[in-house]
């Protein structure tokens, strides 16, 4: 590693943000790289694919640069940036909701309502794979409620839906995830009876 790169990695978050506020291009590049993995991990949960996630990350970062003067240094930058990422991804979802497929409740078959016994250890990739099978409206609601901690009222306001629709979307998302888990990760019990 070159000395310059090492020195740049040792720049504190506060100093990096101060330099970005001053318009220093190199500092902006460093800030983008430092938080890229975090940004992608948030946006991929709200988008249909990596290209859309990358677009949301880039749009979010431009908003960060445009609004750095509003950032209070006493706050956590990661938390502040996370809110911008989520809001940008939600805006992107709302703009593209016409193009997403809607799956009716009738399309979801009944499944056992008890919690499944976990018989397989799922990797992060396995979990994301299950998650990508959810319809957009269910995926967004699940993320906002279960991962980000928003209330159904807040989700309704963000997505332009009723609180009861948010609750329904969450219930359906959980039901579909259970079905997908049983379909892809529960071993089939073999019948060893003699023929």
Question: What domains lie within the chain, and their CATH numbers?
Answer: 1-99 (1.10.1740.10), 101-187 (1.10.10.10)
Mean predicted confidence (pLDDT) in 102-108: 44
Given pLDDT bands bounded at 50, 70 and 90, which one contains residue 101?
very low
More confident residue, 99 or 167: 167
Percentage of the chain beyond pLDDT 90 is 51
For residue 98, the model assigns a pLDDT of: 54
95 pLDDT above the threshold of 60: yes
How far is Cα 137 from Cα 105, in angstroms, rounded to an integer?
12
Q: In this structure, is the dihedral angle defined by the CA atoms of residues 131, 54, 140 and 86, taken in order, positive or negative?
A: positive
CA-to-CA dists, residue 55 to 32, 42, 62, angstroms: 14, 12, 11
Select from 40, 44, 46 the least CA-distant residue to 141.
46
Stated pTM of the model: 0.72
Mean pLDDT (the chain) is: 82
């Amino acid at each position: 590693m070159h000395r310059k790169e090492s020195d740049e990695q040792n720049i504190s978050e506060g100093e990096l943000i101060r330099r970005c506020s001053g318009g220093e291009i190199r500092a902006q590049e460093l800030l983008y790289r430092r938080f890229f993995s975090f940004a992608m991990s948030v946006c991929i949960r709200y988008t249909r694919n990596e290209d859309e996630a990358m677009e949301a990350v880039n749009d979010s970062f431009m908003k960060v640069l445009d609004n750095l003067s509003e950032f209070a240094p006493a706050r956590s930058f990661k938390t502040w940036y996370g809110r911008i990422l989520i809001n940008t991804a939600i805006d992107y979802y709302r703009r593209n909701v016409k193009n997403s497929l809607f799956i009716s409740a009738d399309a979801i078959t009944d499944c056992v309502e008890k919690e499944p016994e976990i018989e397989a250890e799922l990797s992060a990739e396995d979990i994301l794979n299950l998650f990508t099978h959810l319809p957009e409206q269910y995926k967004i609601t699940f993320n906002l409620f279960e991962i980000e901690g928003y209330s159904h009222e807040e989700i309704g306001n963000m997505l332009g839906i009723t609180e009861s629709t948010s609750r329904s979307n969450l219930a359906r998302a959980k039901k579909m995830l259970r079905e997908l888990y049983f379909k892809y990760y529960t071993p089939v019990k073999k019948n060893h009876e003699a023929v």
